[in-house]
Structure 1
C-alpha cells in the first residue's frame, strides 16, 4: 500500500477516535459541583467516631401519630412511621445507592453501589452494586431490585418518587452487579445524584399490585435495623440487624451505634417535653429559647444527669412563618400578601416571648452567598428575570430590602399605616371598623395551629391584624388532623416551613416546595400553592447550571422571587442548634456543616 495512503488512514483513524466521547471511569463518589472532597481510599467521614462503642438503646420522641410503615406511597404520607427513611434519625430500614456526606454541600459516596460511572454531560450514570449488599432476609441486592424499584415507584409511588421515571429514557441491567440509567431531555444536571439518593426496595418482598396500600407489617430493607415491634400510633421499635452487610463500608463506619432504636409518639409538644423530663425520651430539641430555659430547670438537669449543648452549623436556617394558601382567591394578590407580611411584630415577639435571643428571618438562604440580601442582582440574574418584568421590586433587586422594623410596642402606627395603604391600593377599605375586600366582603382568615407555642405566635399576629379591621380566627388541631389538612391543602393560613432542612446546595427538592406541578399535586410540600413561571424558570436554571457563578445567580433569583411573592410571613431563627439530652448519650467531637447527626451518636458503656 502507498506509504502516504497508510499515513493518511492512520491519521484519519486517530482523529475519529479522538472525537469519540471520553470513557469515564467508575468513581467512589460524585458531587454536584466539582469533585468529592474525600479520596478513593478514605476510611470514614470526618464527623464520626469510627471506634464508637456499639450497644444499648435510645428512645426518640415526636409529636403526631402513624398508621403506615411504607414511606413511598401517597396514602398516609404524613402519618407514616418515622425511621424507615429519615433525615433526622437515619435511614434505619431502607437505603439509597449512595450515601450523603453531611460535611460537604452535596457529595455522595458508595453504599449499595460501591461506585458510579457518570458521563461528563450527565446524560447517563451506571452504578456498580456492592456484591456484599444484602437485604435483611439474607437475599442479595441485585440490579433487578433497582429496576423493580423504579417500576413500582412510577406506577404506585408518591411524588417525588413517582415522577422520576419520566426523566429516564432507558433503565437497563448491564452486568451481574451493575445497572445503567440513561436520561432524557427532561432530566437536569442534578438528577444523577437524585437517582443515587433514591432508596431501593426488594423485588422479592413486595407485591406490585398492593404496593400502594398502607401496611403495619414489618418491611424488609437493606438498612442496619429491622422493625421489631409496632404499636400503631404510639410506638415503633427497631432492632439492629446483627448481620447488617454494610457495617464496614466507609460511608457507614461510626454510624448506627445503638442495638435498639425506639420512636415514641405524643399528641402535643408539652406531653413530649414532660416525657423527656421523666427520662422516657433521650433528648429534647425545643426551638423556643424561653420555653427551653423554663423547662430545662428540673432536678435531673441540676444534678448533671441531663446536658444542654449548642451546635454550630454552616447552612442557612429553615424559614418558618405564617404560610398563605395562595390557591384561595383571598390570597391570590401578592400586594395583599405583602401587606399582611408587614404585620407580624417580630420586635415585640422577640422581646416579650424570646428574651431577645432570636434573629429575624428575611431570606430563604440567609447568611450564605446564595442569599439575595446584600447582593445586588448581577447581569446573569437580570437576564434570567428579563422575561418577567416587574416581578421583583427594586429594593429586592438591589439587595437592600428588609422587613419593617417596629418600635416593639405591638402597635407601631407607622407600620400599621404602611400596611393599610398597601391594602388600600389593592382595593380594600375599612367600614365600621372592618376591613372589606374589593368586592365589599369582610376580609379575614383562620390560622391553624398544632401546639400552645404556635397558638402564642398566632395570637401575636392576630392582635396586630385586628388593629386594622382584619378578623382572624385561631383553630388548634392535633398532629394527625393538621397533617391531613396539609395533605389536602385544606387550610387558609398555618405555621409552616420552607422544608425539613436547608442546604448550601439547593436542588430538585425546590420543585416540590415551589414548583407549579407540585402546587397541583396532592400531598406535595408546596403548601403555599406557588405556581409562577418565573419561579419554575429559576429552579430550572439552578438545576442546569454548569458553573458555580451561574448556579449562585439562579438561586439568588429564586430567593428574590420568593421574597417578592410573600408566600410566607417569615418569623425568626436561632443561629445555633440547641439540644438537651440525657448524659448517657455521647457524640463525636466534630459537628458537620449540616449540624449534629443523631445516627453517629452512641450510648456510654456501663
Structure 2
C-alpha cells in the first residue's frame, strides 16, 4: 500500500516519475448529476471578433510579465483535475473522471480521462502531472510564488499508472480545502519542454523565460494559438469536434466558435467605433459612461446590437490604491492614514459611475463568506481626519499651490500610476478631491501589461490596481516578507510584519476551518490598520453588448459567471455561439434599412 512519507522522499518520487501502488478499498466518487448550463440549441462555427487594449508582453503563463495577458487560455481557464459547477458549486469532473480521498487528510487519488489530449494532439498522461511539480519548483521559470506554493503547499504528485495519480499536500487539510488545493492542479506538457539546455536536471530549459516568451505552449483546452501578429493581433483556433472534453457532459455545447480573433485596439473610443460598425462581434459595456450615454446610436435603436446585463455572486479580488511603503514619506503610517481619508472612492462611484459599482469593504476584496472580516469598512472620505493625520506626520504647512509641505520642504505629492486610459477621468476626480486635504496625486498612465510590469518591479509610489479573485483570500503573495522589496512579485505595498508573516504561515497550514476563518479576519484587520491599500470598488455583474447573431442560453448567468462572452483574455464559460443565419438576416436588413426591436436583457436572478 502506498503511504505518504516525508517531503524529501515524495519529491524524489516526483522527479523520477516512479509509479506507486494503488491502495485497495478506496471509495471512488464522481458527479455527473448536476444540471448542465450550456444550451443544446448552440451551433458550432464562425470566428468571434473581439479586441485587446494592449498586446501581451509574453505568451507564457508563468514567469515575468505573465500576470497580464492571455494566461486564461493557457492556465487559468483550462481544465484541471476537477472544477466547481458554476451554480451548485459542487465538484464536477474535468480531466479527472473519479476521485478518492486517502483518509490521511493530505492525499486524493484521481483517475484521469484516458481520452484527454493536449491541443497539439499528444496524449495527456500522469507523467504530465508529475512534470508539473518539477516545472513549478524550477528556478528557471523565475516565478517565486509558484516555487513557494508548489514546495510548501503541494507535497507531491505520484504516478500510479498512466491514468491514475495521487496528489498530496504538505500539511493536513479538511476535505473541502484539500480538494480545492489539489483538485485544481493543471498539468504541464512534458513533451513540449523536453528539449533544451537543462544543466540542473529539473526538466526546464535554463533559458526558459526568453525561449518561451512568444512560444505558446499546448494546453488541455479547446483552443490553441493559430496566428500571432506581434503588436497587432492574436488568433486562437478550436481543436475541433473531436476535442476530448466533449465526452464530458459539462463541456458539451460550449466553446462553440471555430476561431477567436483578438485585435489590439488601444483607444476605448476607437474600439467602440469598430464594434458599432460591425468589425467586432462583442464589446464590454462595464463603463457607466458607455452603457448609459453611448449605447443610443442607430445600431442599438434599430436592434442590430443588443445589450446584456447579468448579475453574479463571484468572489471579488483585492484592489484599489496600493501604497509602496518602501518609498520615502509613504513609510510613515500617518501619511498613509491621511491618504486613506483623502481618497474619495465613494464620491467617484456616485458621481462618475452612477452608483453602478459598489465600494470594496476591504483591501482584500469581498464575497469570501466566513473568511471576510465582518467589521470591515472602507475608510470614509473625510478632509478633517486626513488633515489631522498629515499634521501628525509633520506636513503642517500649506504651500502657495495648496499642497502641504513639511519642515524639510518636502511636498505631500505622489505619483499615481494607473494602467488604462479610460481610468483617467476617475483618477482625475481622485486627484481633485485629494487637493482639498493638501495632497497631490501626479497622474501617470502606463499602458496595460507594461504598467503591471512597472508595478510588480516596485517602481511606483502609488498604483491603482484591481486583482482577480480566488475562492478564498490569499495573503502570501501580497503581504508576506518573502515578497517584499523583490521584483516580479505581487507585494505591491512592500508591507510586511513578523506578526503578519506568522499569521500567513499559520493560515496556509491550518486544518481547522474555523481557526482559518479567524486567522483571515485577523489578517484583514492588520492590513486595514496598516493603511497600505485604499479599497476601490467591486463590480458584481457583467455588462456587454453584442450583435444580434451572438446567441446565449435561455438562462445565461450562473452564480460564478464573470463574463458572458469572451472579452480579451477572459474566456468565461463560453456558452455563447454565433448564428450564421441570423448574421445574414441582420446584414441583409442593414442593406435594406430594415429594423428590429431594440433589446436589452437584464438577468438579475443573482442580484
Once the two structures are overlaid, the 10-residue window that deviates more, 539-548 or 165-174, is: 539-548
Match of residue 47, structure 1, among 37, 40, 43? 37
> Which residue number corresponds to residue 525 of structure 2?
560
Once the two structures are overlaid, the 10-residue window that deviates more, 346-355 or 457-466, is: 346-355
* 1:22-421 mapped onto 2 (5 Å cutoff): 24-28=26-30, 40-42=31-33, 45-50=35-40, 52-72=42-62, 74-78=63-67, 80-81=69-70, 83-85=72-74, 87=76, 90-91=77-78, 95-104=79-88, 107-155=90-138, 156-157=140-141, 158-167=143-152, 168-185=154-171, 190=177, 193-206=180-193, 207=195, 208-209=204-205, 210-212=207-209, 213-242=211-240, 243-363=242-362, 364-366=364-366, 369-370=369-370, 375=374, 399=375, 401=377, 403-404=379-380, 415-421=382-388
Distance change in 2, residues 1:560/1:476 (3 Å) = same
Once the two structures are overlaid, the 10-residue window that deviates more, 142-151 or 327-336, is: 327-336
1:153/1:161 contact within 8 Å kept: yes
1:64/1:268 contact within 8 Å kept: no
2:52/2:263 contact within 8 Å kept: yes
Distance change in 2, residues 1:275/1:524 (3 Å) = farther
Aligned equivalents of 2:464, 2:520: Cα separation in 1? 24
Alpha-carbon deviations, 1:425-475, whole Å to 9, x = none? Answer: 233321545423575532311112333432222222222333333333112
Aligned equivalents of 1:228, 1:138: Cα separation in 2? 14
Aligned equivalents of 1:68, 1:571: Cα separation in 2? 28
> Which residue number corresponds to residue 559 of structure 2?
593
> Which residue number corresponds to residue 3 of structure 1?
none
Distance change in 2, residues 1:472/1:215 (3 Å) = closer
Once the two structures are overlaid, the 10-residue window that deviates more, 578-587 or 311-320, is: 311-320
Please state how far the C-alpha of 1:486 moved relative to its aligned partner.
2.2
Where in structure 1 are there 5+ consecutive unaligned residues? 1-20, 29-39, 376-398, 406-414
Alpha-carbon deviations, 1:182-228, whole Å to 9, x = none? Answer: 43349897465333323212222223325433343453333212221
Alpha-carbon deviations, 1:528-587, whole Å to 9, x = none? Answer: 233234444454555455555444433333333333232222233445332222221122
2:224/2:238 contact within 8 Å kept: yes
Where in structure 2 are there 5+ consecutive unaligned residues? 1-22, 196-203, 565-571, 582-607
Please state how far the C-alpha of 1:308 moved relative to its aligned partner.
1.4
Distance change in 2, residues 1:246/1:291 (3 Å) = closer
Distance change in 2, residues 1:195/1:369 (3 Å) = closer
Please state how far the C-alpha of 1:50 moved relative to its aligned partner.
4.8
Aligned equivalents of 1:400, 1:100: Cα separation in 2? 28
> Which residue number corresponds to residue 581 of structure 1?
546
Aligned residues: 530
Please state how far the C-alpha of 1:421 moved relative to its aligned partner.
0.8
1:372/1:557 contact within 8 Å kept: no
How much is the aligned-residue C-alpha RMSD, in angstroms? Answer: 3.1
> Which residue number corresponds to residue 17 of structure 2?
none
Match of residue 464, structure 1, among 418, 433, 448? 433
1:69/1:84 contact within 8 Å kept: no
TM-score by length of 2: 0.78
> Which residue number corresponds to residue 536 of structure 2?
571
SS of equivalent to 1:417? helix
Distance change in 2, residues 1:52/1:541 (3 Å) = farther
Aligned equivalents of 1:83, 1:463: Cα separation in 2? 37
Aligned equivalents of 2:216, 2:420: Cα separation in 1? 31
SS of equivalent to 2:244? coil
Distance change in 2, residues 1:566/1:278 (3 Å) = farther
1:145/1:202 contact within 8 Å kept: yes
